[in-house]
Amino acid sequence: RGEDAKQAKKEGNESSGSKTSARFQSFQRNYILVFLLAMFADWLQGPYVYELYVSYGFDQAAIAELFVCGFLSSMIVGTFVGGLADKLGRRNACILYCLTYGIACFTKLVNDYWVLMLGRFLSGVATSLLFSVFESWMVCEHKNQGFDPALVGDTFSNAVFGNGLVAVVAGFVANFAANSYGNVAPFVVAIIPLAAVGIICSTTWAENYGNQSLNYLSSLRQGFDLVRNDSRIAALGMAQSCFEGAMYTFVFMWTPALKPQEGTILVEGEETVSDYLGTIFAVFMVCVMVGSSRFKILAQRPKSLYSIPLYLHAAAFLSMAGVTLFMENKTIVYGCFLVFEASVGVFWPAYGTIKSEKIPEDIRSAVMNIFRIPLNAFVVLLLLKVKYLDSSTVFTICSIAHGFAFICY
């Protein structure tokens, strides 16, 4: 009888474990689907934002101003939106992302500076939501469902790997759409996955919150108090801000950096970098996938998690330094860009896992958006001055930022 009881208990535990595993896999698949659709909409636009503005006749200074508006809105408005998401619901904030980004896509159809500026403003708000509320919802729901905390890293890793794959597809789709219907086409196509995200979130996601007793100003205040009083959280946030600040500068600069130097004589009919922006972008995303896969292997040893960022920050610094030193050799520049993108693939799951352990649940979205304040300030200041700087100088500044990120971490 004793043996029968033990066997029954064992089978019961296995059955319970199997049900939990099935529930987790269903939860993970649902989240990753939504996250990848949200990112797909963003990636579709990435290769052609700069090129669309060029095709509308804007010079680099005007384009920089448009980009600055996006980062300023992300820094100012996005900060408050993060605290609001903790109070009013992360799922609602995810749906708000779809609405704001969808309207921003429509503005790209109008060749008017101020309409495009409105679009950049809305894009900035949407970007803040994309990189905070989806993650906040997932981490909170993971805990609410009672899943093993160690599995959060697995979700992050799979999401980043899938994100790379989705970005590759987005690059080719954007390339085809732009070549077939013009540079504005990828922005129209992006409305489709945005609509899908809104529908799936509203029909399949449960709502979750931070501390609802806090108003958004109190939530922000507690977030700032945490950053001010915990030097490790402050250092983590600064390292993230420096890395992402340089990364977003890279987003603005990689297209002109790969193009021939001014004064280069092109043969009529000769193919140029502009003909392959979507393809180049897709290769970048393959490198992101390689990086996320590498993280998944390294993270199998729990003690190594907190040392991984040291290597990714070092790789990012060396790659940007290589761009600075060999700016005229486009082959080397492209190779350095690929190394940097691989470090980005490690960055997202590594920092996502660490933040899930270190940031309190009740003010998670607020703290994550506080982290974005210095990165947006960095990008805004740099882009305001970009018309006075050559590409080599800009990438030197990015190298310094990555070096500082390494020191902070």
Cα–Cα distance for residue pair 78/100, rounded to 1 Å: 12
Higher pLDDT, 272 or 230: 230
pLDDT value of position 266: 41
Give mean pLDDT, residues 54-81.
83
In the prediction, which pLDDT does 27 show?
93
Comparing 60 with 198, which gets the higher pLDDT?
A: 198
- Beta carbons within 8 Å of 84's beta carbon, 6+ residues apart: 93, 216
Task: Assess whether pLDDT exceeds 60 at residue 2.
Answer: no
User: Residues 6 or more apart from 370 whose CB is under 8 A from it?
Assistant: 79, 82, 220, 223, 224, 227, 237
CA distance 363 to 214: 9
**Are the C-beta atoms of 91 and 208 separated by less than 8 Å?**
yes
Higher pLDDT, 154 or 332: 332
Task: Report the alpha-carbon distance of residue 98 to residue 350 in Å, rounded.
Answer: 26
Whether 213 shows a pLDDT value over 80: the answer reads no
Radius of gyration of the chain (CA): 22
Closest by Cα among 157, 225, 235, 243 to 366: 225
Percent of the chain scoring above 70 in pLDDT:
89
Specify the 3-state DSSP secondary structure of 207: coil
pLDDT on residue 267: 42
User: Cβ contacts of residue 65 below 8 Å, gap of 6+?
Assistant: 117, 383, 384
Q: Residue 100 corresponds to which amino acid? A: T
pLDDT tens sequence across 31-45: 999 999 999 999 898
What pLDDT does residue 373 have?
84
Sign of the Cα torsion 345, 348, 349, 351 reads positive
Work out the average pLDDT over 54-72: 87
Closest CA to 252 of 378, 125, 105, 119: 378
Are 240 and 373 contacting, i.e. CB atoms less than 8 angstroms apart? no
Q: What is the reported pLDDT for 216?
A: 60
Q: Grade residue 264 by pLDDT with cuts at 50, 70 and 90.
A: very low
Q: What is the pLDDT of residue 360?
A: 85
Q: What residues contact 194, with CB distance under 8 A and at least 6 apart?
A: 37, 38, 41, 98, 101, 102, 105
CA dist., res. 216 & res. 264, Å (int): 53
Q: List pLDDT tens digits, range 182-197.
A: 999 999 999 999 999 9
Q: Is the pLDDT of residue 262 over 60?
A: no
Distance of CA 364 to the CA centre of its chain: 17
d(CA 64, CA 388): 11
Q: Percent of the chain scored above 90 by pLDDT? A: 43
DSSP state of 363: G
- In this predicted structure, the answer to whether residue 217 has a pLDDT above a threshold of 90 is no
Helix axes 133-144, 113-130, angle to 10 degrees: 20
For 302, phi then psi, to 5°, come to -55, -35
Is pTM beyond 0.85? Reply is: no
349, 296 contact by CB (below 8 A):
yes
Q: What is the pLDDT of residue 60?
A: 79
What mean pLDDT do residues 306-310 have?
94
Instruction: Check: CB of residue 169 under 8 Å from CB of residue 276.
Output: no
* pLDDT for 276 beyond 50: yes
Q: What CA–CA distance (Å, rounded) separates 240 from 313?
A: 10
| Averaged pLDDT of the chain | 85
Q: What is the mean pLDDT of residues 124-138?
A: 88
Average pLDDT over residues 227-232: 91
| Averaged pLDDT for residues 214-223 | 72
Task: Give residue 103's Cα distance to chain centre.
Answer: 20
pLDDT band at 73 (very low <50, low <70, confident <90, very high): confident
3-state helix, strand, coil in the chain (%, to 5): 85, 0, 15
Q: pLDDT digits over 384-406, tens only?
A: 887 788 889 999 999 999 999 99
Lowest mean pLDDT among 6-20, 110-124, 285-299: 6-20
State how far Cα 1 lies from the chain centre. 57
Among 61-65, 71-75, 99-103, 202-206, whose mean pLDDT is lowest? 71-75
Instruction: Name, in order, each residue with C-beta under 8 angstroms of 393's C-beta and a sequence gap of 6 or more.
Output: none
Phi, psi of 112 (to 5 degrees): -140, 130
Distance CA 401, CA 355 (A): 21
| pLDDT winner (highest mean) among 113-122, 124-133, 256-265 | 113-122
Q: Determine the pLDDT at residue 265.
A: 42
The winner for highest mean pLDDT among 11-20, 35-44, 207-216 is 35-44
The two tokens of residue 294 are 């590498």
List the structure tokens of 108: 């790209």
CB count, 10 Å around CB of 17? Answer: 10
Note whether 284 and 341 are within 8 A (CB): yes
Q: Which one has a higher pLDDT value, 57 or 172? A: 57
DSSP 246-269: HHHHHHHHHHHHHSPPTTPPPPTT
> In the structure encoding, which two tokens stand for residue 132, read together?
């905070």
User: What number is the average pLDDT over the span 250-258?
Assistant: 86
Mean pLDDT for 339-366 is 88
Q: How far apart are CA 117 and CA 334, in angstroms?
A: 31
405 vs 83, higher pLDDT: 405
